[in-house]
Amino acid sequence: MLSSALKFKDAFPGYAEYEPHFNHLLSKEDWANVESLCDLLKVFKVCTDIISGSDYPTANLYLIEVFRVKQTLDNGALFENDFIRDMVKKMKEKFDKYWVECHLVMAIASILDPQFKMKLVEFSFPTTYQNPDENITKVKNALYEMYTEYVEIHDTLVREAATHGSECG
């Protein structure tokens, strides 16, 4: 909605002259805030589209998008605009509170993607999480547990198939 309004910012003064009940004309500073905010929120829109959209049904993209959001928030602290910087600070606090623990499913999904493997986790966790080494260890342990469970199930099925095969012969 803001990006749509931004396209018509030059039309608002003319509308204010034409419509006597329109008394919400933004200042140049307000429009600068809107423009900065739109630039900042582009990253969030793309991330939301990927994570919640049906065009991308695979979870392997989630970690990279969360990493991009984290980078955007970290860079937002460097904004010259006080309005944006203050807003980003509040967003960053909420992000850090929510993402203090790693989300195993998201990390495992990215590891199972052949283009990312463990490299994305090792690259993104130091920026994304407060305890990156601890969270990387959690992910590795979860993968080892999954693998061990898979091997046990596989071995059981092979033994059962061998037993049933010798009974039939």
Domain housing 125: 2-168
End-to-end CA distance of the chain: 72
pLDDT in tens, 85-126: 899 999 988 888 888 776 888 899 899 988 888 999 999 999
What pTM did the predictor assign?
Answer: 0.72
pLDDT in tens, 48-90: 888 787 665 678 888 888 889 889 898 887 778 888 889 999 9
- Whether residue 63 contacts residue 57, with contact meaning beta carbons closer than 8 Å, is answered with no
Domain total in the chain: 1
- Whether residue 77 contacts residue 84, with contact meaning beta carbons closer than 8 Å, is answered with no
